[in-house]
Amino acid sequence: MDELVYFYPEGHEAHQEAGHPERPARIETIRQWLQEAGWWDQYPHLEPLNLSMEFLSTIHTPEYLKRLEKFSGLALSLDGDTYTTRASWQLALNAAGGSAAVAGAVWRGQGQRGFALNRPPGHHATASAGMGFCLLNNIAIAAQYVLKHPLENAPNARKLAIVDLDLHHGNGTQDIFWERNDLLFISTHQSPLYPGSGSLEERGAGEGLGCTANFPLPPATGDTGYLTIMEGCILPLLDRFAPEMVLVDVGFDPHWRDPLGHLRLSAAGYGTLISRLTGWADQHCDGKIALFTEGGYDLEAGAACAQAAVAALLGQPWEDPIGPSPRPDGESWWMVYQKAREIWQLS
């Protein structure tokens, strides 16, 4: 078994728009930093799976898939934030197929851990619409692949968890799994902020009631607030749901240097969060954990968080070259923590 398997989005530079923050240098800087740390070349890089439209239609509506292909063919924007180029449709299929390949490899035991470097990103894409720089919901497709797609030499998983650590609420992923009880969706995100959803009270519906958990964090939450919520809420929720594998959406925009957010997380703090999740996976699901990139718009902060995350996956020591925020953490996250403990009856 390989210790780690990657997906790298070959050709992703063809998805770009001048001046847009979701740009190729984000992934290229991460790749360079992983290479410099000695954590890149020796691990397998998986080819994207060729997923059928029939399978993709179990996550996105057929109408949206057709619309995305058509808009990409004409290089039109889906909304004010979300551009396409003529290469975007194929690159979105590659990111979704690469994410499914990584999740499948970890699920089958081909790799102990997985890391998909995705462009275009995915977690804002709902069943019927791309938005917020996102075209296809890569992590939702990866989870669905392990839950529902016929697999060679392996049964499907019965229950998975997605933990979304991006600065922004993963509204698309929440929307897709809202009424399902085979996936626990947990999101930490700054609030208020785009896209505006993700309150403590949003907990799923129907059979999925209690399978969505949101942690809307105030600005300046910082490392201590994040770690307290990880240990006091997120890990206990994983204990309760007992997923057979953990998929982590690693937006690196909670970092204190990110231009889009104010959560004041450090790269070392980010690594600690990933090592807690990895430790949980080691104890409860044979170490099956895979990461999928989302946002992160300060190039060096994103690359430092990615290094911290890979160090955590591999259980290797790592030093944060950027360090903690020069400004102190706030304390108002405590209210969210207390309220969440109450709502979820964790005390």
Taking the C-alpha atoms of residue 111 and residue 3, their distance in angstroms, rounded to an integer, is 6
- For residues 188-227, which are near Zn ion according to CB under 5 A? none
As a whole number of angstroms, the distance between CA 70 and CA 289 comes to: 35
Kindly tell me which residue out of 97, 225, 295, 302 binds Zn ion, with binding defined by CB under 5 A: 295
**CB closer to Zn ion, 82 vs 112:** 82
Site for Zn ion (CB under 5 A): which residue of 56, 129, 167, 285?
Answer: 167
Check if the beta carbon of residue 43 is closer than 8 Å to that of residue 3. yes
Distance separating alpha carbons of residues 143 and 162, to the nearest angstrom: 8
Q: Pick the catalytic residue: 12, 15, 123, 124?
A: 124
- Which of 175, 253, 258, 329 is in the footprint of Zn ion by CB under 5 A? 253
CB of 133 to Zn ion, least distance (A): 8
Name the phi and psi angles at 198, rounded to 5.
95, 40
Q: Contact region for Zn ion (CB under 5 A) — 53-61, 75-83, 287-295, 325-333? A: 287-295
State which residue, 60 or 168, has the beta carbon closest to Zn ion: 168
Task: State the minimum distance, in angstroms, from the CB of residue 246 to Zn ion.
Answer: 20
Site for Zn ion in 5-64 (CB under 5 A): none
Q: What is the DSSP letter of 172?
A: H
User: Which range of residues in 62-70, 246-254, 303-311, 316-324 is near Zn ion by CB under 5 A?
Assistant: 246-254
- Match 């959803």 to its residue by tokens: 197
Strand partners, 131: 134
Binding span for Zn ion by CB under 5 A among 46-54, 59-67, 112-120, 163-171:
163-171
Q: Measured at CB, which residue is nearest to Zn ion?
A: 295
168 touching Zn ion, by CB under 5 A: yes
Say how many C-beta atoms besides its own lie within 10 A of residue 124's C-beta: 27
Question: Active-site residue 124, yes or no?
Answer: yes
Q: How far is the CB of 258 from Zn ion (least distance, A)?
A: 9
Report how far residue 226's alpha carbon sits from residue 334's, in angstroms, rounded to the nearest whole number.
10
Min CB(226)–Zn ion separation in Å: 15
Residue 346 Cβ, how far from Zn ion at the closest point, in Å? 26
**Applying CB under 5 A, which part among 199-207, 218-226, 248-256, 300-308 lies near Zn ion?**
248-256
Q: Which residues of 18-27 are buried (b: 16+ CB within 10 A; e: fewer)?
A: eeebbbeebb
Least Å from the CB of residue 278 to Zn ion: 22
Q: What is the 3-state secondary structure (H, E, C) of 19-74?
A: CCCCCHHHHHHHHHHHHHCCCCCCCCECCCCCCCHHHHCCCCCHHHHHHHHHHHHC
Of 137, 150, 141, 167, nearest to 261 by C-alpha is: 167
Site of interaction with Zn ion (CB under 5 A): 166-168, 251, 253, 295
Q: Which residues are catalytic?
A: 124
